[in-house]
């Protein structure tokens, strides 16, 4: 059977971002990223709450989880930090549990996603700082995506501060990467695509299971 690949070789690596509208300094910062820190409400999910249903479910998009999986397969560590605690943190906890239950994590090929609860604005910085010290990672090697005041201090610390499209104005002012999509609906994927593109990762070669 005729195969185009057999005669032409492997197709070019998929381009994940539009280089024409990407700031070169942002792309350079993304090259150094070894840790991705994520807020929960408004980033991991849409920030909308379904009232009247036990547990108050949140909405999120599959494409964000796909991007996180590619980063993990690429060797980048991921953490979710939320101000929520107790039952209020259950929606995020369930996502982390699902991600850490994937075969690639269970068999040791991927590192688990770290989960911090009950961490407000200053506590987020302290929790993240303790963790990245354990990993031997500097702030310059961290990216954080946040959308509101609880993320402000942490965004000022990291090498790549990022926000979803619906982030508050004062958050957008301090971020060097603005996702085209909103939180819970592709914003995380936009940031993952930037990091993977900057680091010349070929998503076809990243095992996702």
Report the pLDDT value the prediction gives residue 87, as an integer from 0 to 100: 76
Which token pair is 6? 């057999």
Rounded to the nearest 5 degrees, what angle is found at the Cα of 128, between the Cα atoms of 25 and 112?
A: 95
Report the pLDDT value the prediction gives residue 46, as an integer from 0 to 100: 86
What CATH fold (topology level) applies to the domain 29-137+145-202?
Answer: Rossmann fold (3.40.50)
The alpha carbon of residue 35 and the mean position of all alpha carbons in its chain are separated, in whole angstroms, by 9
Cβ contacts of 62 within 8 Å, gap of 6 or more: none
Claim: this prediction has a pTM higher than 0.85: yes
Q: Exposure pattern of 121-155 as b/e (b: 16+ CB <10 Å)? A: eebbbebbeebbeeeebebebbbbbbbbebbbbbb
Tens-place pLDDT, residues 123-165? 999 999 999 999 999 999 999 999 999 999 999 999 999 999 9
Report the pLDDT value the prediction gives residue 1, as an integer from 0 to 100: 42
How far is the CA of 58 from the CAs of 44, 49, 117, in angstroms? 9, 6, 16
Low pLDDT (below 70) residues in the chain: 1-9, 48-57, 85, 209
Sign of the alpha-carbon dihedral angle for 42, 194, 31, 105 = positive
Report the pLDDT value the prediction gives residue 37, as an integer from 0 to 100: 98
Report the pLDDT value the prediction gives residue 170, as an integer from 0 to 100: 98
């Amino acid at each position: 059977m005729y195969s185009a690949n057999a005669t032409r070789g492997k197709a070019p690596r998929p381009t994940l971002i539009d280089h024409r509208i990407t700031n070169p300094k942002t792309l350079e910062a993304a090259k150094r990223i070894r840790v991705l820190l994520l807020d929960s409400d408004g980033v991991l999910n849409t920030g909308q709450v379904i009232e009247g249903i036990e547990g108050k479910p949140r909405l999120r998009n599959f494409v964000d989880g796909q991007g996180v999986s590619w980063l993990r397969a690429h060797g980048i560590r991921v953490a979710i930090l939320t101000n929520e605690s107790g039952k209020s943190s259950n929606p995020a906890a369930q996502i982390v549990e699902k991600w850490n239950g994937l075969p690639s994590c269970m068999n040791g090929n991927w590192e688990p996603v770290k989960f911090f609860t009950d961490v407000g604005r200053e506590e987020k910085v302290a929790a993240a700082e303790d963790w990245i010290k354990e990993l031997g990672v500097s702030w310059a090697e961290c990216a954080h995506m946040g959308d509101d005041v609880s993320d402000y201090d942490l965004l000022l610390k990291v090498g790549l501060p990022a926000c979803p499209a619906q982030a508050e104005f004062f958050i957008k002012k301090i971020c060097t990467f603005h996702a085209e999509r909103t939180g819970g609906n592709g914003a995380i994927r936009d940031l993952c695509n930037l990091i993977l593109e900057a680091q010349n990762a070929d998503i076809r070669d990243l095992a996702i299971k």
